[in-house]
Amino acid sequence: MIRHLFPEASFVSPRDFASCVFTHPLINCIGEPTATLVHRSAFDRFGPFNPNFKVLTDWDFFARVAIHHGLCYIDDELATFRVHSKSTTQRELGHSPFHDFDLDKLIMLHELAYSDAFEPAREEARRRRHAIDLRILLAREVQRVRRKAKDFAGSWVGRMVALMPSSPNSSASTQSWRRGRAATSRLPLPSRCVMPGGVCCAEPNG
């Protein structure tokens, strides 16, 4: 991925990488940890891997470091890894239609919008001819994930209702559930979404 974003580049400057981060905030362009070398002092300055992530843990850390120091890149195959159905990533993606990767996206966008470590990315976003507010990207993702969670919860309840034994009141119960779901869909979007790592505003102010 990185060879396509920065062709024929052996060094990516902090500013160029900051631009890459806010342009592709949810794509790990660096790759697996086995293909990287990180000086130990980087952990002292930028902290450890964020345990709130399930899939994007390494991408969050690499991005934190590279937007401050840049990175050197060797365009050669020096490491390999195996893709299989029992890997952590595949298990998380295949667990259910609404999975931890959706929450990882929210946490990553929250960090980009509010964490001090990602201030260079926000500065680069503001330099654009048409400035990009990362809080707005976060707000849109909150809305998307909220809709997906609601749809998943509704389909799960629907399957449970379908499996309920028939009884004189089963039809009434189903109609009551459908009325409740319709009423829920009309509820206003909350102004805040509390999540690991802080509070992300669904409708940022200012």
> Which residues, at least 6 apart from 47, have a Cβ–Cβ distance to it below 8 Å?
64, 117
> Which residue type occupies 81?
F
What pTM, to 2 d.p., does this model score? Answer: 0.67
Q: Round to whole Å and give the CA distance between 58 and 63.
A: 8
pLDDT value of position 96? 57
pLDDT value of position 115? 93
Count Cβ neighbours within 10 Å for each residue of 173-197 and write b for 16 or more, e otherwise: eeeebeeeeeeeeeeeeeeebeeeb
Domain ranges of the chain: 2-201
DSSP state of 75: -
Per residue of the chain (206 residues), what is the pLDDT tens digit?
Answer: 788 888 888 899 999 999 989 888 888 888 777 778 888 999 999 999 999 888 889 999 999 999 999 999 888 887 777 776 776 666 655 655 566 678 888 999 999 999 999 999 999 999 888 888 889 889 998 998 888 888 877 765 555 555 555 544 555 555 554 554 554 444 444 444 333 334 333 344 44
Q: Round to whole Å and give the CA distance between 151 and 145.
A: 10
Query: How far from 41 is each of 46, 67, 81, 129, CA to CA, in Å?
Result: 9, 16, 26, 36
Cα-Cα-Cα-Cα dihedral sign, residues 156, 158, 163, 168: positive
pLDDT value of position 117? 92
pLDDT value of position 101? 76
> Which residues, at least 6 apart from 38, have a Cβ–Cβ distance to it below 8 Å?
62, 65
pLDDT value of position 189? 43
pLDDT value of position 137? 87
Q: Round to whole Å and give the CA distance between 65 and 43.
A: 9
| Beta strands 71-72; 192-195: pairing state | unpaired
